[in-house]
Structure 1
Amino acid sequence: MHHRGIRTKRDGVVATLRRPALPNEAFDKQAPQSSTSWAPYRVFNIGHSEPVQLMDFIRTLEAALGVTAQLDFQPMAPGDVPATFADVSALQAWTGVSPHTDLASGIGRFVEWYRAYYA
């Protein structure tokens, strides 16, 4: 299936609406997976499929907000993970689309929305 890029999470949601979920005929109640079921639903991760360094995220957020963060570095706490990113392979397989919003654009749109919503 050809993978088309999507620019926003809304685009990813719309892509899933164009291909409604079907029951998973192979669903095993003894070994369930949370992303599918005997019921007609699917769970998809809609995000960027590559990790971003925390300091890159912070610097990009600072630039979008026009402020400098006051950083207080602490040791990792229980439950912290050294790296994480969205696995969008299920979304790609089901809809043929994959997210490709770059960090600066995504944070910029979020800051715009946040400021308008809480104005």
Structure 2
Amino acid sequence: MWLFGAPVMAAEAPRLSVQRLDDGAAEVQVCFARDRSERRYELLVTHRDLNGNRSQSRQRGTVAADGEGCPVQTRIGLKLGATLDVRLRWWQGAEEQPAIEQRLEGQQST
């Protein structure tokens, strides 16, 4: 793709990390590498417990051109047997990029 006589380079996908912590909680982190264009993101986190209860949280933000870093870093309580589904939608300029999804299963009782 060309814009004003220069090629538009594809953005490096952000890094979505969903990890179980030693205390049984989960950590969700979204990190962006430096890029020449503004990037927007929307993070949807869905928590389901063993009883079928479901809760969702949504976070939106913008990473400025030439900005980098981790705009999202959060801890979430994760009970035994619960499931955490995380979906990251993101845009480079006005173009939506492929979504990134991860799932974390809560530990089962032994």
TM-score (norm 2): 0.27
**Larger radius of gyration, structure 1 or 2?**
1
Task: Select the structure that is richer in helix.
Answer: 1
TM-score (norm 1): 0.26
Task: Select the structure that is richer in strand.
Answer: 2
Q: Which has the higher contact order (CA 8 A, sep 6+)?
A: 1
